[in-house]
Amino acid sequence: SQKIEQNSEALNIQEGKTATLTCNYTNYSPAYLQWYRQDPGRGPVFLLLIRENEKEKRKERLKVTFDTTLKQSLFHITASQPADSATYLCALEHTNAGKSTFGDGTTLTVKP
Amino acid sequence: NAGVTQTPKFQVLKTGQSMTLQCAQDMNHNSMYWYRQDPGMGLRLIYYSASEGTTDKGEVPNGYNVSRLNKREFSLRLESAAPSQTSVYFCASRPEIWGTEAFFGQGTRLTVV
């Protein structure tokens, strides 16, 4: 069956370090993958989208990689700040599927 | 722009009661979605509407019905609420059916006792 795993339910790092979150999937051939941020009591907010033919994408302090051979995406936050503390969700979608499947999320805590 | 607006924000129901969750978007998006999120878990798709006039089942449609009233509005109905439907419900919209980012509402926290 199809499965998405965001390993480490929780990740704690020191301010200024790089946070690296992982999204692994099995039995998928996603056309693209998205990352969202969710704060407690709020809806998810879109961060980045990367397509299957793209290896890497950047936006300010954020970087996403997508390895379709390893079936893995890495999400990096460089120079992390306490304000980056939140839950981060990855979502996969097949071509023309019209719907995304979400992972369970990783909760990041950045300590001052 | 308000984005995606959900009402109500909180609701407590008794087992067997019915209710409708409302969702409206003002971004002229074609596609709309209903998800539920249980504690410590990701989002699970209940129903979606690729465009006005169409609806399709997601992963967990049992116990729910939807109506795409017009391009702006997509409602979710619980006909006979059960404790297993206690969850946070999110509505989302996006410009096209695939390849685009989704915009989420603030959520409706529903408790069924």
Residue (of B79, B81, B70) closest to B24 by Cα position: B70
Facing residue for A103 by CB, picked from B4, B42, B59: B42
Res B1: pLDDT? 64
Res B41: pLDDT? 80
CA dihedral sign, ordered B81, B67, B31, A101: positive
pLDDT > 70: what percent of chain A? 96
Q: Is residue A3 very low, low, confident or very high in pLDDT (cuts 50, 70, 90)?
A: confident
Q: Is residue A96 very low, low, confident or very high in pLDDT (cuts 50, 70, 90)?
A: low
Whether residues B92 and A43 touch (CB distance < 8 A) is answered with yes
Whether residues A42 and B31 touch (CB distance < 8 A) is answered with no
Please indicate if any CB of chain A lies within 8 Å of the CB of B71.
no
Facing residue for A102 by CB, picked from B31, B42, B50: B42
Distance (Å, rounded) from C-alpha A46 to C-alpha A54?
18
Please indicate if any CB of chain A lies within 8 Å of the CB of B106.
yes
- Average pLDDT for residues B43-47, to the nearest whole number? 95
Q: Is residue A9 very low, low, confident or very high in pLDDT (cuts 50, 70, 90)?
A: confident
- Average pLDDT for residues A37-50, to the nearest whole number? 96
CA dihedral sign, ordered A95, A99, A105, A111: positive
- Average pLDDT for residues B48-76, to the nearest whole number? 95
Give Cβ neighbours of residue B43 (< 8 Å, ≥ 6 apart).
Answer: A44, A89, A91, A102, B35, B36, B37, B90
Res B98: pLDDT? 76
Query: Rounded to a whole number, what is the distance in Å from the CA of A104 to chain B's nearest CA?
Result: 4
Q: Is the confidence at residue A77, as pLDDT, over 70?
A: yes
Please indicate if any CB of chain A lies within 8 Å of the CB of B26.
no
Q: Which of chain A's residues have a Cβ under 8 Å away from the Cβ of B100?
A: 49
| Residue A16 burial (10 A CB sphere; 0-12, 13-18, 19+) | exposed
- Average pLDDT for residues A11-22, to the nearest whole number? 96
Res B92: pLDDT? 97
Interface test with B, best of A99, A101, A102, A104 (most B CBs within 10 A): A99
pLDDT > 90: what percent of chain A? 72
Please indicate if any CB of chain A lies within 8 Å of the CB of B58.
yes
Q: Which of chain A's residues have a Cβ under 8 Å away from the Cβ of B96?
A: none
Instruction: State the Cα angle at B40 between B2 and A78, rounded to 5°.
Output: 70
Res B10: pLDDT? 97
Interface test with A, best of B36, B97, B98 (most A CBs within 10 A): B98
pLDDT, tens digit, for every residue of B63-102? 999 999 899 999 999 999 999 999 999 999 999 877 789 9
- Tokens representing A55 are 């290896």
B108 touches B5 (CB < 8 A): no
| Phi-psi group of B46: left, alpha or beta (phi > 0 → left; psi -120 to 50 → alpha; rest → beta) | alpha
Whether residues B31 and A98 touch (CB distance < 8 A) is answered with yes
- Average pLDDT for residues A94-99, to the nearest whole number? 71
CA B60, distance to chain mean position in Å, is 12
Is residue B41 classed as helix, strand or coil in its secondary structure? Answer: coil
> What are the φ/ψ torsions at residue B83 (nearest 5 degrees)?
-55, -30
Res B13: pLDDT? 97
